[in-house]
Amino acid sequence: MSALVNSTLFRRVSKVPPSYYLLVVLLVILFVARPQMLNANVLGVFVRQVVPLGILVLGQLLVMRVKSIDLSGGGVILLINYCISSGIFPGASLGFYVVLALATGLVIGLFNGVMVAKRRVSAVIVTLALSIVLIGFVQYLSSGKPPGDVPKIFAELFNTRFAGLPSPVVFWIALTALMALLLSQTVFGRFVTAVGESMPAAHFSGVPVERTVILAHTLAGLMAAIAALVQTASIAVGSVRVGLDLPILSVAATILGGVVFGRGEGGVWGPFFGVLCFAFLFVVMTMFGVGDAGKLVAQGLIILFAAIFYGLRADK
Amino acid sequence: MNFSSSTFGKLLTGRGSRQGLWLLPFAIALAMALWLAVTTSQFGQWSNLANLVAQGMPLLITAVGQMFVVLVGGLDLSIGSVVSFTTAILALDLPGYVTIPGVFLFAGLIGATNGYCITRLNVHPIVATLSMQYVVLGITRVLRPVSGGTVPEGVRWLVEGSLFGLPLPILWGIATLLVAWKLLYGSRYGLHLFAIGGGVAACSDDAARNFGIPASRNILLAYVICSLFAALAGVFLAGRIVSGDPNVGLLMELDAITAVAIGGTQLSGGVGSLHGTVIGVVVLALLSNGMNLLNVTPFVQTAVKGILLMAVVALQSRKKIGL
């Protein structure tokens, strides 16, 4: 096996995140089986569905690059969805909700960051526990029933188009570009890379490790809040089950995009295409009549193979 | 002089201990039991206690298995699916002498695959076991899309029957703890687990190997043990619900991790104890039993469980930042 792994061809092939290959394969399958589906309108609808996931992934890749993880997204989405749809803020404007959501995300992200970096609590546990608390809290407030309707303006905004593309998709691409700039052009971006490579080395080189981790988590919380707004706009009703599988899917898409704990070869666009893969994967599988069970198996195998693909290359 | 370096503080926070923080959860469990016994009349009744044991048993078995993996700095998220898978297999129309060994064989294979991916193919434990969770859950839903089928009569008796006047669930618990105790404290293997985990926690993964301990093999075995315990919990649950259910194990891995963490086992590895895990299970079991007795909605129970987990984990101290 090691001869294969060390060969030039494998090294060259494995430089590209698995998400690119998978996306090409999926598009070819779509092209062969349903050529009429390959137009901007139909694809736009599919892609629009995964925008919340895509935004959540932007935060996830940030924390995964500093060897942490954020599983609290499900709770954040549920909480913000509840705030908007339950009518506890009668007559509130769109701006109020956006500020409320961002503030919520910021506080939750900051809490995660401080717990992980200062208190040195396991990130899996603290974010998972927070998610459990938030989910329990929201379900208690709403007695387990869907709370109500979302103000119309959310759905209207969600359905607009910008330059021929659905505006959520444009928004997602812009946000991804911003994140790419943040990671490649700023000092913070370099700190993230340094911390991911080796925490002791970064510490001894004067990188503020704790502060970098806290900031990464805070940004991840913010991204979760934005994802919550988009998700709420997309379903346009209150729900007590919305977005619960998104954190796990975001980890999967990030890995598929070539960002594994501490290593960020895939950059920001690798995970971006990882999310697109999930969008088309479900389309292709539905097309071939694969049921939910088959989708779960495929999802699991894809994550596993993507991770093996990276693991084989990593020097022990 | 800060709190955590005083003798009392050391004992309370488990700093520097191999067994981790278990005294505080023990006090919590004791306080909860006393409070429940005083405030509710049903708590102390024999039927409620028997129910408590039977309800907490799957959690105890899975948590004990999970502890082996956590001790080497890993995490197994696939056990919930393994539990569901086990009940689905047992509810197939096949005799028990075929399905029961088959279940453990499959579980062993699942654990070995997890371990192989983690140790040889360099996949992160969370990623490997998460994908295994999906794959196994998918297969379970193919086998049994909705709950149904019947479990062999023998399995039912193993859970509901009694031997020498003792309800059998108690014997399941004793057997589980004896096996785990032997593996952890009565064998060289257990010592190796602590050594490997201690190295992982200190960010030097090959510390144990430098002392001549075959780390990969032992870690792989820990995942196999974890899966086998999950299958055991599945057999127990199948006997209790008397049918196969693809969703019975849903989120069970989280409860198991919660119990292990409450019991003072550190998720970075190397620190933890069997009695701590038992205490963690008791705390969780008392929590849900007590809240049921006090008519608290399950949603609040979820939130309280989360807060408890966070509080207990925040009290532990470790060096590593991140996962």
Task: Tell me the average pLDDT of chain B.
Answer: 86
- Please name the amino acid found at residue B249: G
Count of C-beta atoms within a 10 Å radius of residue A2: 7
CA–CA dist B107, B124 (Å, integer): 20
The interface predicted TM-score (ipTM) is: 0.81
Q: How far is A222 from chain B (nearest CA, A)?
A: 19
Please give the average per-residue pLDDT across B53-73, as a whole number: 93
pLDDT > 90? residue A100: yes
List, for residues A134-157, the tens digit of each pLDDT value: 988 998 888 877 878 888 888 888
Q: What percent of chain B clears pLDDT 90, i.e. is strictly above it?
A: 38
Q: Which residues, 6 or more positions from B259, have their beta carbon under 8 angstroms from its beta carbon?
A: B59, B60, B63, B66, B277, B280, B281, B283, B284
CA–CA dist A305, A283 (Å, integer): 20
Option in B122, B124, B145 nearest A316 (CB): B122
A56 touches chain B (CB under 8 A): no
List, for residues B171-230, the tens digit of each pLDDT value: 899 999 999 999 999 999 999 999 998 888 777 777 887 888 888 999 999 999 999 999
Residue of chain A whose alpha carbon sits nearest to that of B201: A122
pLDDT for residue B251:
80
List, for residues A48-85, the tens digit of each pLDDT value: 889 999 999 999 999 999 989 998 999 999 999 999 88
Q: pLDDT-derived band of residue A316, with 50, 70 and 90 as boundaries? A: very low
Token pair of B148 as six digits:
């149904």
Span A9-313: which CATH code?
A: 1.10.3470
Contacting B residues, span 221-280, partner chain A, CB-CB under 8 Å: 254, 257-258, 261, 267-268
List, for residues A246-291, the tens digit of each pLDDT value: 888 898 899 888 888 877 777 899 999 999 998 888 888 888 888 8
pLDDT for residue B203:
72
- Output A124 or B65, whichever has higher pLDDT: B65
CA–CA dist A225, A215 (Å, integer): 15
List, for residues B253-287, the tens digit of each pLDDT value: 888 988 998 888 888 888 889 999 999 999 999 98
Count of C-beta atoms within a 10 Å radius of residue A119: 16
- Output A128 or A182, whichever has higher pLDDT: A182
Q: Is A299 in Cβ contact with B142 (below 8 Å)?
A: no
pLDDT for residue B305:
84
Q: Is A67 in Cβ contact with B323 (below 8 Å)?
A: yes
CB B300 within 8 A of CB A134: no
Helix (H) or strand (E) holding B238: helix B215-241
Q: pLDDT-derived band of residue B1, with 50, 70 and 90 as boundaries? A: very low
Residues of chain A found within 8 Å of residue B139, distances taken between Cβ atoms:
293, 297
Residue of chain B whose alpha carbon sits nearest to that of A126: B310
B202 touches chain A (CB under 8 A): no
CA–CA dist B151, B51 (Å, integer): 21
- Output A157 or A113, whichever has higher pLDDT: A113
List, for residues B104-115, the tens digit of each pLDDT value: 999 999 999 999
Please give the average per-residue pLDDT across B287-306, as a whole number: 85
Q: pLDDT-derived band of residue A311, with 50, 70 and 90 as boundaries? A: confident
Residue of chain B whose alpha carbon sits nearest to that of A256: B127
Please give the average per-residue pLDDT across A236-245, as a whole number: 80
Task: Tell me the average pLDDT of chain A.
Answer: 87
Residue of chain B whose alpha carbon sits nearest to that of A211: B321
Please give the average per-residue pLDDT across B122-132, as a whole number: 87
Can you spell out the DSSP letters for chain A? -HHHHHSHHHHHHTTS-HHHHHHHHHHHHHHHH-GGG-SHHHHHHHHHHTHHHHHHHHHHHHHHHTT----THHHHHHHHHHHHHS-SSTT--HHHHHHHHHHHHHHHHHHHHHHHHTS---HHHHHHHHHHHHHHHHHHHTTTS---BPPHHHHHHHH-EETTEEHHHHHHHHHHHHHHHHHHHSHHHHHHHHHHH-HHHHHHTT--HHHHHHHHHHHHHHHHHHHHHHHHHHH-B--SSTTTTHHHHHHHHHHHTT-BTTB-TTTTHHHHHHHHHHHHHHHHHHHTT--HHHHHHHHHHHHHHHHHHHHHHS--
Please give the average per-residue pLDDT across B243-255, as a whole number: 86
pLDDT for residue B15:
59
